[in-house]
Amino acid sequence: MELVEEAPYRFRIDRHDPMRVPGTVFASRSLLPDAVGDRSLEQVANVATLPGIVGASYAMPDVHWGYGFPIGGVAATDPADGGVVSPGGVGFDISCGVRLLAADLDRAELGGALESVMDGLSAGTPRGMGRGAVWQLANPAELDAVLRGGSRYAVDRGHGTARDLARCEDGGAVADADPAQVSERAVQRGQQQVGSLGSGNHFLEVQAVDEVYDPAVAEAFGLRPGQICVMIHSGSRGLGHQICTDHVRTMEKAMPRYGIEVPDRQLACAPVSSPQGRAYLGAMAAAANYARANRQLLAESARRVFADRTGRALDLVYDVSHNLAKIEEHVVDGAPRRLCVHRKGATRALPPGHPELPDDLRPAGQPVLIPGSMGTPSYVLVGVPGAPAFASTCHGAGRVRSRRQATRAVRGHDPRREIEARDIAVRGASWRGLAEEMPEAYKDIAAVIEATEGAGLCRRVARLVPVGVVKG
């Protein structure tokens, strides 16, 4: 794949048939995917063939190979111009995202209570691939209410506060959810998992604010140097996975009737305005609401532990997803257009003044939460005016080794001991779960953040370092 370096941290893949637009890759040279072992740049070019795509097919600095779209891929299509929606542009873990809570205590105050806190978080956080959840839903009707109401329904049932909703993307629930488009199999998979962490790269981490780059914005977010925080990374669990599986199959069968051909069957898609497109968006919104409720329940469980073990509270900084397709208005060539923006392993980053931000955050801009790999720092960024890629940015460090490769690389090692040697308390469900997520399996998060800021996608606000981690 030939790349043209347009500017620092910005590369271009020139358009060639059947691409409809060029590709744009935001990265430094050291972050570019390995041409032999990672075909994500080929996926960037494939995404550029989608009907109705606008501007470019974008890749974030953490880009790596994914299903259809690269992880770290962004693409917007115009429904008025035959634009499509593709489940591969969202991914299997619909509305997977990050929630950050700030405690009213500092690292020095936490002191000897850390082990007790970690024991409480470990016991109170259902995780792994099996069943088990914080909230035992009584019947399918209650799950239907979760799919329609997300965090709003959880708060209505006493799991959180009204302020939580103001600090959550979309006010805690995506509109236009249609549970009727969610299959019975997806419902079965989701019934017993509301309030569970999952496995893979999902985690709950106790962190400390290690450095503040923008004191004014950090203060607006409720962050200060030395402060203890809790970061939760989870999504829609088996329900979201099944929804993606179901609708990929439906769209693959439907494409011929719309005259759509794609270079990779994993890019199965349908016009946004078609019955298949509307059905997927309704099911996706339901899964997004499930994910919001899931993180709301996990946060409430963490709050109970902190109240019990430290006597202190946790306030929500923000909750934002990084696997969604959203209908948004953006200015293209000087004119506003309604677009379907796919973000797959990419985070929305609204600038200061955006009307969708809550009143207390609007002057500063949207908090952008970027988790590091296990044992490395995480970052809080903020959206900036005039950013490219439809106000999108990275979502993490980005893998450079598959889970199998990562496991082989640490064979004969004790991952828990290596992490604890960095003064990080570990509560992991299995050796394999830790081995798959060791820092060596990921890109350098500091280099990713440097490229993100250098490309004009976001601006740094604070760095958080891990103190303790709960893994599936």
* Catalytically annotated residues: 395
Q: Which is it for the CA torsion 191, 369, 90, 201, positive or negative?
A: negative
Partner residues linked to 212 by β-bridges: 462
**Bridge partners of 4?**
12
3-state secondary structure the chain: CCCEEEECCEEEECCCCCCCCCEEECCCHHHCCCCCCCCHHHHHHHHCCCCCEEEEEEEEEEEECCCCCCEEEEEEECHHHCCEECHHHCCCCCCCEEEEEEEEEEHHHHHHHHHHHHHHHHHHCCCCCCCCCCCCCCCHHHHHHHHHHHHHHHHHCCCCCHHHHHCEHHHHCCCCCCHHHCCHHHHHHHCCCCCCCCCCCCEEEEEEEEEECCHHHHHHHCCCCCEEEEEEEECCHHHHHHHHHHHHHHHHHHHHHHCCCCCCHHHCCEECCCHHHHHHHHHHHHHHHHHHHHHHHHHHHHHHHHHHHHCCCEEEEEEEECEEEEEEEEEECCEEEEEEEEEECCEECCCCCCCCCCCCCCCCCCEEEECCCCCCCEEEEEECCCCHHHHEECCCCCECCCHHHHHHHCCCCCHHHHHHCCCCEEEECCHHHHHCCCHHHECCHHHHHHHHHHCCCEEEEEEEEEEEEEEC
**Spatial separation of the C-alpha atoms in residues 335 and 94, rounded to whole Å:** 30
**Token output for 370:** 């970027």
Name the burial class of residue 440, with classes exposed (0-12), middle (13-18) and buried (19+) by CB atoms within 10 angstroms of its CB.
middle
User: How many CB atoms within 10 Å of residue 3?
Assistant: 16
Structure tokens at 143: 């799950």
Contacts of 375 by beta carbon, 8 Å cutoff, 6+ apart: 419, 422, 424, 438, 439, 466, 469
- Rg, C-alpha atoms of the chain: 21
